[in-house]
Amino acid sequence: MSEHESDQLLYDVDGHVATITFNRPDRMNTITAIMLQQFSELVLRGDRDPNVRVIVITGNGRAWCAGLDLAAAQSGDAFGERPDTPRLAPGEFDLRDAPPIVLNKIDTPTIAAMNGGAAGYGLDLALGCDLRIASSNAKLSAAYTARNLVPESGGTWLLPRIVGWSTAAELLFTARTVTAAEALDLGLVSRVVEPDELPGATAELAAAIAANGPMAVRASKRMMRHAMTEDFEDHVQRQYLALLPLFASKDFREGITAYMEKRPADFAGE
């Protein structure tokens, strides 16, 4: 991987928070083939790091991520032309390491800190994060059908679960672009702040998550994910099994002790 290619995504860890930054501001942070691969690698790096308790995903410049780099794809520079990238037959997809799949399967909480617009594949990635906090100037574009496309990776699964069938249908069928304020009303984002407040608000949210028992936070995310495909009785059984190692953990004893002593808990992830 060349230095230039690796600069398209930045990775930083500060305390218990890892930050992945889309770094193509001159191209609205549109995604190239190397970014698809590297994004998954960085997400998995954060998930496997025992020190990381939250992964924040943001962008440099005025966009969060405007989707796949279609201009580069048209010229043959972005997708399917790399000699080390295997070609796929029509109708055949290898999605095991695709970014939306990776976002869905990890247990570390993810926050999309949306400094600007998200469209196409970028919107799918934002929907794949657990939490979305948006700058007031951000816009979310579901303009797939206006390009005679469907969401590139997971949008038709995620969107109805986030906003409900009817709202998702309206957004997708009409190819609507919504403002941050509209996205908040629809439940697409959980918070909207002024642009200069976004870094601080994101850090505050990440810190609030990281302050809790990391084993319990990860288990809660895992349980929520399983709950989407299980019936109630099966899920209650899974919850019981998830509780057993938590009861036996040092962090459980620390949480109870901190509560009794009326002090913040100091969790170690053990």
pLDDT digits (tens, 9 = 90+) for 218-242: 999 999 999 999 999 999 999 999 9
Question: What integer pLDDT is reported at residue 33 of this predicted model?
Answer: 85
Smallest Cα–Cα separation from 92: which of 80, 83, 103? Answer: 80
Q: Is the pTM of this model over 0.85?
A: yes
User: What is d(CA 144, CA 141) in angstroms, rounded to the nearest whole number?
Assistant: 8
DSSP strands (E only) in 100-246: 110-114, 117-119, 131-135, 139-141, 177-179, 191-193
9-14 and 191-193 beta bridge pairing: unpaired
Question: What integer pLDDT is reported at residue 265 of this predicted model?
Answer: 95
Q: Is the pLDDT of residue 208 over 60?
A: yes
Question: What integer pLDDT is reported at residue 84 of this predicted model?
Answer: 47
Q: Is the pLDDT of residue 89 over 60?
A: no
9-14 and 17-22 beta bridge pairing: antiparallel
Who wins on pLDDT, 2 or 100? 100
Give residue 72's pLDDT band: very low, low, confident or very high (50, 70, 90).
low
CA distances from 175 to 47, 91, 136, 168, 172 (A): 34, 24, 21, 10, 5
User: What is d(CA 93, CA 47) in angstroms, rounded to the nearest whole number?
Assistant: 24
User: Within 13 Å of residue 72, how many CA atoms lie on the same side as its CB?
Assistant: 18
Q: What is the mean pLDDT of residues 166-170?
A: 95
Question: What integer pLDDT is reported at residue 4 of this predicted model?
Answer: 42
Q: What is the mean pLDDT of residues 192-210?
A: 97
Who wins on pLDDT, 150 or 85? 150
Give residue 96's pLDDT band: very low, low, confident or very high (50, 70, 90).
low
3-state secondary structure of 111: strand
User: What is d(CA 190, CA 113) in angstroms, rounded to the nearest whole number?
Assistant: 11
